[in-house]
Amino acid sequence: MLTSLVVVSIAGLWSCDGDPPDPRFATPQATVQTLLKTYGLWQVTFLEARDTRQQPDIDTVARCFWDYDRDDSGSRAMGEFVAGMLAAGQGRLEYDVRQTQALVRTMNHPVFLRKTDDGWLIVLRDTVPEEIRNGLRDRPRRAPDHEMP
């Protein structure tokens, strides 16, 4: 009887707010897992990750981030950078979750997440250091070092 009451109460909450929250983004850990799975990097060794060439679903990748621009090659590069950091630290990631913000400690740079109506989303601007952001944004626009004959 108590179990039925709890299930009915939870179902009632979902019907008041619309659709139930997407479980892929329900926690910071779920968002990280979703991003890594999308790139084919979830629970793989460093050597396997280095050799992975899976083309990710761009819609899912974009949904993992708060400030991702699908039309910007810099955003794509930053998303790959974050996925690489998280993949390299798998098994050693530490999560510090507050009410509306979370910090994931990796081996290199911390990853910052923000709680939104869509779930926990990674914030590129706060996660990717400025000098790396600038380099990733500039990379596609650089002229070749030499011209082909």
- Among 115, 58, 117, 116, residue whose Cα is nearest residue 83: 58
| Residue position matching structure tokens 């991702």 | 68
User: Tens digit of pLDDT for each residue in 8-20?
Assistant: 334 334 445 566 7
Round the average pLDDT of the chain to a whole number and report it: 81
Contact of 101 with 113, CB cutoff 8 Å: yes
Contact of 104 with 113, CB cutoff 8 Å: yes
SS3 41: coil
User: Tens digit of pLDDT for each residue in 55-103?
Assistant: 889 999 999 999 999 888 889 999 999 999 999 899 899 999 999 999 9
- Among 136, 130, 134, residue whose Cα is nearest residue 84: 136
**For residue 21, what pLDDT is reported?**
77
